[in-house]
Structure formats: structure tokens, C-alpha cells
Chain A
Amino acid sequence: MPIDMRQFHQTFFEESLEGLANMETELLRLEKAGAENGQETVTADLEILNTIFRAAHSIKGGSSTFGFEDVVAFAHVLETRLDAIRDGRLRPTRKVISLLLLSVDCLRSLIISARTGKEGDNSAIDDVRRQLESLESEQPSSPASTVPVSKTPQGKISHWQIMFRPHLHLFHTGNDPLRILRELNDLGECHVQADISSLPGWDRMKPEECYLAWKIELIGPISRETVNEVFSWVAEDCSLEIKLKPMQSLAPRSIAEAVASMDAQAGTLRVSVPKVDALINTVGELVITQTMLSLIASNFSFDNLSRLFSGITQLERNTRELQESVMSIRMLPLSFAFNRLLRLVHDMSQRLGKKVELVFHGEQTEIDKTVIDRLIDPLMHLARNSLDHGIELPAERLAAGKPETGRIELKAYQKGGNVVIEVRDDGRGLSHERIFAKAVERGIVSSSSKLTPEEIAELIFLPGFSTAESVSDLSGRGVGMDVVRNNICSLGGSVEVASQAGRGTCFTVRLPLTLAILDGLSIQVGEHTYILPLVSIVESVRIRPEQVSRPAGSSEMYGLRKEYMPFLRLNELFHIESRSTDLSQGLLVIVEAEGKKAGLYVDDLLGQQQVVIKNLATHYRKVEAISAATILGDGTVAMILDVPGLIRLAHAGTGHATPPVGDAPASTTATPTLN
């Protein structure tokens, strides 16, 4: 009965990579523990060591079972070393830990090679392996590969005489002499004679003990190893004599080889059982509701109306619960992204000669898996940035009266429908003069422009901006903060920076909880309905026509509480006939994105609702000012407005001018602010 081992490969790859990530985290913890003691040698916490060892051990076991020989060979060397560390034969110095971290990389690349079927850089891996092997421990290591004991086939017939005398406690090991006799019988011709000489009298006999012994004659093509193997589990639980009359042999036994070929690289998600149970539960309730509703429908009378309504209420609840359960499946804790930074910070701080402590807060905050995957790069960039530009060299820090070790803090928390992540360092802060000078040099702003510190800080997010004096290979990879902002914006989020000279910098990233569902406000423009993302709405006000101004050569501006902002008439933008041209009949929705505000003139607000986002580009094409579409309850399609796009459009119309100075009368007729 052949079993296709390939079906287990995907799980093996995933858990191995996960195991390696754990190993990495634990190794870094180990090193940190050592650094805190201020010692070169790390006093190892046994629990940490065990976890590290277990990861290597599992990978070795799995890869040998599934036939990934390269992985086995490497994992074996690593395991031997880790075992030596665990036993105290090898001391985990910083050098050793660094080498172990390298080994984690090697294993990772080997596993990825196995997964993709592509060859990795074997010379580098061999090099690390040699280094591992040459690590001095106080005892020689075992040979560098596990060779399953294979039996050489021999055709000769042997005649074995076996005296098998189990100890009294044999049953307590779960072994059964009958099993052994049966096994011997399967090997060849077998004659068994029981020896009952040790049986005590009935009164002293304990049923849980084994008093019998057996004399066995075994004839067949059987080697001594085979016979020994039959008794291997009970070798210490019996006295055993195995004598050869003559002859010996063994039938050839095939050692089935695992097929090392590649599974389709399906993007998979590991979900905890309680989450799946909750889902199944909800579906169960949904089915009940459905049955109930069809029952009402099949013999409907108006007397049943109240039952119908209660059924629909129940359906709504089921749907909402189902949605929540399904969404929660896609949620992962942010620690998945945060932990990736540990290694980066470790490697980089060593290269830069800086001392840095990385601290996490709220890493259990959950966020959509897609967001996590796409968040890793921007977060890495922010951390790299803090480390490279923010944190000073130890001497510099001491001179400034700060602790020698810098601190990068990652803090995550949920706020409304958003997850907020702060990347904060206690470094030197942004140098406004240098940023400004650089921006002038790059022609981004003119030297005569007067900018507030906040506006200067914003400059770092502009394309083509980089303040690194020498383009180091660490942060200055030609990827600037503009890419970070773009990446985060493409996730529907935003990033802001705040800084205090000499005290540090804080980047605040705001992200929607999920990419699939949006909290929106439906608005009416003419006969059409549009959706505005709730997060970008500041407030809605009834327009006072006297507060509208039209500066020469720019679009209309609206003055609200001493603040002027451009506004767009959505009906004009989308070429829709508005219900009324009288401004005071409509409403102005103030939206904000990327630190800029704009007003959107709409006919009416319809209400707040959650909508499922349907990508427009895959169904139609990219449309300016529209980010996606959704299907409303009545089956019509509504467009979801792209607020950052609209704001850019509105500000482009104003010719990037600073708002005219002047006091706008305070608006007192603001409609109740939404949210």
C-alpha cells in the first residue's frame, strides 16, 4: 500500500520555517541574556536551549522522514552542536551564537530550495557547515550523517536456538511475549516450547507478573540482527540466549525512498481550532435560521409576520457573527511582523557599532494576514531608518547624557477600525535644517519658502529624498520613505512622523483592520450612491455660501473655523446632474488624508454601513478618484471614493498654494459630526 509522502511536504515546509523563526528568536534572546550580564559567555537558560534544540531536532526528523537529504545533513551537524551546548560541553559565546544564526539562514535556504526544487548557494552553506563542524567542544562529535541501518541481504538458512526468559515485570512495560513469539513465527519455521518451571503455587501467583519462559527453535534465512531486533524492546526485561546451530542470512528488505518533489506552493493559513469551531457553530445556526425562514415562507400568512421579522433579525445576527468569525480567521498577531525585526536590528547594530535594545508592546494585536505580509517591508525600513539615522553611536549618546544603549520601541494597539503601530526611537531626532537644505538642493522646495517644522518633517516622505550623507548599504538602498508611505497607503493606511531634536523620532503607522471590508458612509450625489471610507471623514457641515471663496486661478475654497480648504463638487467631477445647484441645499463632507483636508460637496448623507470591497481594477480598470467598488443591499453597484486621490485632485486645482490668510467666520451650523 504505497502512501504518497508529498501530501505532507507543505506542512513540513511551513512548520520548519516557523521552527526556524522560533529558533532565531530564541537565539537572539540567548544573546540578549548574555549581553545583559555584560559577559562574553552566555549563561544559558535551559528552557531556551531546549526550545532551540527541539526546533533543530524536529527539522532533522521531518526532513529525514520526507527524504530531504541536504536538510538532514545540515540539521544533523547543527543538532550535534546544540546538543553539546545543552550538555554544557560547548559554551554559547557570541561567536557561537552568530554562527548558529547563520546556520538558521542556511537551513532556511535549504528548506526553500527543497520546496521550490531549485538549488541554493551550496558553497556558502558548506562553508557554514565546516565552521560548525570545527567548533571546538570538549568531546568529539558523532559522524556527520545518520545512516539508517541497512541489512545486507544474505540467502543462507540459519538455525537459531533461543532461550527467552522474561523478567517478572515484563507486562508492566506494555510488552507481550506472545507478540514476540508471533514475530519469530513470521520470520521462518518456528518451534516453541514453554518452560513453566518458575510458576509459583496458585496462592502466591500474581496475575500481573510473567512467570513463563520459552525455548524457541527458529529456522530460516534469518540474521542475528533480525533476531536481536525482535527482542530489542525487551532486551533489558528478560534474560536471553541466542545460539546459532549453523547457517545465517536475511531476506532483502527494501528501504522505501521518499519522493522529494515539490507541492504546489499554495498560500496557506494556519488557523487555531477554536476559530474554526466558532465558524462551524455559526454556520450551524445559520442553517437553523434558514430552515425556520423557509418554513415560514412555505405556508405564509400575515399572522406569521412577526415571526418572519424575528427570523430576519436572527439572520442578520448570524450573518454578522459569520462575518466576524471569517474575518478572525485571517487575523494574525503583529508579532509575526515584529519578530522579523529582531534579526535585522541585531545584525545592523553590530555592523554599525551601535547598541540598541528593541522593545515590543502590544505585539498580540491582531491584523489581517495580507496586511501583515505587506507590512513587513515598510516596518523593516522604518526600523532600519531609526537605527541608521536616529540612534547615535554609544560615545555620542554618552556625551549627550543618554544611556549608552539606544532604544527602538514598537508599539501596536487598536483604535476604532484601525490598528496603530508606532516605531519610536530615542535617537537624535530629525534634523530640520539638514532636511530643509537637502530638499532645497534636490529642488523639492525653494530656499525662500517658509515651512513649519511639521511641514519640513513631511518632506522626507517625498519621492527622491534621502538625507543619508553617504549612501550606506543599510538604509540608503535607493528606497526612500516615499516607498514606505506608498506601501502603507496602498494598504489603506497612513504614516506620520513626529520628532524632537535630541529626544528621538516617532513614526506612526495607521492601518485598517482588514482589507476586505470597509466601514463606509454612503453619500448621495444626484441619483447615484457613493461610499466614503469612514476613517477619512473628519466631519460634515451644511454649507454657508458666504464662506465659499474663489481665489483667482484656483478652485473653490471653503473657510471653516479659520481654516481654508479646497472643495470639490462631486457631481461636477463625475458629470452627474445634481439635485440642486444651490450650494446650501447640499452638505460638505470634510475628509482628510496625508495630513491634508478637503471638502466634498454632496447632495445627502445616506448612512453608515459596512461594505465588502470589490477590486475595480480586476473587473474594469483603474479610475481616478475611485479606489474600488461594492455591491449594495439592493444589488446596485456603488463606487468607493479614493480620498487621498480626491484630495490631491482638489489641491492640484489650487495650484499648491498656501491658503489665503484671513479670518473665516466660525461655522456654527455644523451638522452633527459623524463619528
Chain B
Amino acid sequence: MATILTVDDTASMRQMISFTLNSVGYEVLQASDGKEALKLLQGKKVDLVIADVNMPNMDGIALVKSLREQADYKFTPILMLTTESQESKRQQGKVAGATGWIVKPFNPEQLLTIVKKVLG
């Protein structure tokens, strides 16, 4: 089963996401910001990254940029968590190389639908 990394500074979001994904058998890694995510991914391969945009230390956009520079993560799907009002962030994310986004608020079913689509 695929491995997914969730990056969010909000513990409840991380918990919700990882619980939801765990419940259908995905393996889930968690990081609380971009820096931690990068550290976690050193020498490790995940199949999907779900990252929040607003985070301390290193935000989601910087994380995407940095991941895209790595050979291992050139083509890995990276989804950003954004809200309806964050059109400009979404653009920045796309430019940085994000695959797509999940609009907050979302419920577990919506999350699973999207993840299943991406991972096939």
C-alpha cells in the first residue's frame, strides 16, 4: 500500500488526515512544517505529499519548490491544502510545482476520494 506524508502545523488536521488514510490502509508519515518534512524525506520515498500552505519555519510553497529540485520527487504528486480564499497561494503553489490542491474545509470522504484518484 502507498505511503503518504502529511505536513501541517495543526495537530488536529494531521491527526484527522492520518487517521482517515490509515483507516483504509495507507501508511502515513507526519511532519509539522516544511523543514521537518524535508528531514523526514531524506533517503525515503513516499508516494504522495499532502501539505498545508501556511506553516511556520518553512511553508508549503517552499516545500514544494525544494522537493521538485530533488530527483526522487520530480514527479511525485504533491497536494496543497488551501482555502477558498487563497487563490493567489494556489497560483504560487502551482508555479512552484504542486500537483493540485484540496480545498478546506473537507471531510474524510472527500479526502479519500481525492487521494484514491491521485494514487490510482
In the complex, B34 has a CB within 8 A of chain A: no
Which among A125-133, A176-184, A511-519 touches the partner chain? Answer: A176-184
Is B40 on the interface with A (CB-CB < 8 A)?
A: no
- B residues less than 8 Å from A232 (CB atoms): 100
B105 interfacial contact with A, CB 8 Å: yes
Given A174-B97, A179-B117, 6 more contacts at CB 8 Å? A3-B20, A64-B105, A65-B105, A171-B74, A179-B120, A182-B120
Sample (24) of A-B pairs whose CB atoms are under 8 Å apart: A1-B24, A1-B109, A1-B112, A3-B19, A5-B108, A8-B16, A11-B12, A58-B13, A61-B83, A62-B10, A65-B104, A65-B105, A148-B84, A148-B105, A172-B68, A172-B97, A174-B75, A174-B99, A183-B117, A208-B74, A233-B100, A236-B94, A256-B108, A258-B107
Q: Which residue of A lies closest to B110 (CB)?
A: A256
**Residues from 55 to 80 in B contacting A, C-beta threshold 8 Å:** 55-56, 68, 74-78
Interface readout for B79-109 with A: 1 if CB under 8 Å, 0 if not?
Answer: 0010111000000001001111101111111
Q: Are B98 and A173 in contact (CB under 8 A)?
A: yes
Q: What CA separation (Å) do A8 and B17 show in the bound complex?
A: 10
| A-B pairs under 8 A by CB, number | 109
Secondary structure type dominating chain B contacts: mixed
Contact of B104 with A61 in the complex, beta carbons under 8 Å: yes
Q: Is A15 an interface residue (CB 8 A)?
A: yes
**9 tightest A-B contacts by CB?**
A233-B100, A174-B99, A64-B105, A12-B12, A174-B77, A3-B108, A11-B12, A65-B105, A58-B10
The contact of A179 among B23, B76, B84, B118, by CB within 8 Å, is: B118
- Contact between chains at B23 and A1 (CB < 8 Å): yes
Nearest chain-A residue to B73 (Cβ)? A174
**Cβ contacts under 8 Å, B118 to chain A:** 179
Do A8 and B120 touch (CB < 8 A)? no
Residues of B in contact, count (CB < 8 Å): 42
Residues of B within 8 A of A354 (CB): none
Residue of A nearest to B80 (CB): A233
A51 adjacent to chain B (CB < 8 Å): yes
Also in contact, A178 and B120, with CB within 8 A (given A1-B24, A62-B13): yes
| A 222-249 binary contact with B (CB < 8 Å = 1; else 0) | 0000000000111011000000000000
Encoded as 1 (CB less than 8 Å from any A CB) or 0, chain B from 8 to 37 comes to 011111011001100110000000000000
Q: How far is the CA of A154 from the CA of B117 in the complex (A)?
A: 24
> In the bound complex, how far is the Cα of B99 from the Cα of A142, in angstroms?
27
**B78 adjacent to A174 (CB under 8 Å):** yes
The reply to whether the CB of A60 lies closer than 8 angstroms to some CB of chain B is: yes
Binding site for A on B (CB under 8 A): 9-13, 15-16, 19-20, 23-24, 54-56, 68, 74-78, 81, 83-85, 94, 97-101, 103-110, 112, 117-118, 120
- Interface 0/1 of A337-374, CB less than 8 Å to B: 00000000000000000000000000000000000000
Cβ 8 A contact of A65, one of B13, B24, B68: B13
Residues of A within 8 A of B23 (CB): 1, 3
Which chain B residues border A258 with CB–CB below 8 Å? Answer: 107
Q: How far is the CB of A15 from chain B (nearest CB, A)?
A: 5
Q: Say yes or no: B20 contacts A15, CB within 8 Å.
A: no
Query: For A183, what are the chain B residues with a Cβ–Cβ distance below 8 Å?
Result: 117
Q: Report chain A residues within 8 Å CB of B106.
A: 65
| In contact, A8 and B76 (Cβ under 8 angstroms) | no
Closest to B108 in A: A3
Report chain A residues within 8 Å CB of B83.
57, 60-61, 146
Contacts of A51 in B (CB 8 A): 56
Q: How far is the CB of B65 from the nearest CB of chain A, in Å? A: 12
Could you tell me the distance between the alpha carbons of A234 and B77 in the complex, rounded to whole angstroms?
12
B94 & A61 in contact (Cβ 8 Å cutoff): no
Q: B12 contacts which chain A residues (CB < 8 A)?
A: 8, 11-12, 15, 62, 65-66
B16 pairs with A65, CB closer than 8 A:
yes
- The answer to whether A8 touches B19, judged by C-beta atoms less than 8 angstroms apart, is yes
**Most A Cβ at <10 Å: residue of B23, B85, B103:** B85
Q: Could you tell me the distance between the alpha carbons of A51 and B57 in the complex, rounded to whole angstroms?
A: 11
Per the 8 Å Cβ criterion, residues 1-41 of A in contact with B are 1, 3, 5, 7-8, 11-12, 15
**B56 partner, pick from A54, A61, A148, A175, beta carbons under 8 A:** A54
Contact flags A255-275 to B (C-beta < 8 A → 1, else 0): 110100000000000000000
Q: Residue of B at shortest CB range from A233?
A: B100
Q: Assess whether A256 is in contact with B10, with CB atoms less than 8 Å apart.
A: no
